[in-house]
Amino acid sequence: MVSEEVEVLTTLEKKINEPIPSIDSIDNGTFGFVVNKNMIVALGLNNKGFETIPSNIGNLVNLKILDLRNNKLRSLPASVIKLKNLEVLDLRNNELAHLPDAISNLSNLHELFLHNNQLESLPEEITKLSGLQKLNVYNNRIKKLPVSIGEMRNIRELICYENQIEELPSSLFTMKDLTEINFGNNRLKVIPDKISEFKQLTELRLNDNLLTDLPHTITNLQNLDSLYLYNNDFSTFSEAIVKWLKRLEEEGKIVVY
């Protein structure tokens, strides 16, 4: 390892008062670092009580995986934008109230896990993460999604369960590669007709909202395997919707309403 990387490990070890072990892989919240070709490529600091991360974390320029779950982080150091090789950033179960706008510099990011924090919004700049494939913001306080979220066209899984979202931005419906959408437990009153644009969708969760009706275009979701609609304000469905729901059930799909 280069001296800058050793210095980062030393700084982190001093904060937690224990050595960080070298391990083979980062998996499901492990603790340690992974070295490949004499470079630190993955770092897991699960459940170590971090309230802040030292600024020299930005010196781990070869890092591909950074797992900071289950800590007490309220913010990220500005130097995190130097981690331009980062592919997976796991910040779940912290106390983050905001994300830095410069998170858009993490251009190689594929997976971003932000669930169980205190976020009230996502910066518009996050939509510049065009290579992102998984975004999880479950259980935050988000009231609306970025207007230009549709720029994140490579996202396959969008998990926004248990927030305070009242409306879906129109650009969302340009994200045609989505296979899983979870807007359960929000404050949605209307699902736009453009829901039919999600041709690849296999799982759709709209449970625990304020919906009173569904657009007839939802019946065009031909690849749907799982549909969750319970705990809304539906009184009756149109005949076309009823037939569609029954057909899904007859085909052995998971339908809960």
Mean of the per-residue pLDDT values for the chain?
96
Phi, psi torsion values for 146, nearest 5 degrees: -55, 140
Distance from the Cα of residue 84 to its chain's centroid: 19
Query: Which one-letter amino acid corresponds to residue 250?
Result: E
pLDDT digits (tens, 9 = 90+) for 12-62: 999 999 999 999 999 888 999 999 999 999 999 999 999 999 999 999 999
Supply the DSSP symbol for 24.
S
Identify the structural domains of the chain with CATH numbers, from first to last.
Answer: 3-210 (3.80.10.10)
pLDDT digits (tens, 9 = 90+) for 149-194: 999 999 999 999 999 999 999 999 999 999 999 999 999 999 999 9
Tokens representing 123?
């910066």
Query: Cα–Cα distance between 210 and 233 in angstroms, integer?
Result: 6
Burial of 97 from C-beta contacts in 10 A (0-12 / 13-18 / 19+):
middle
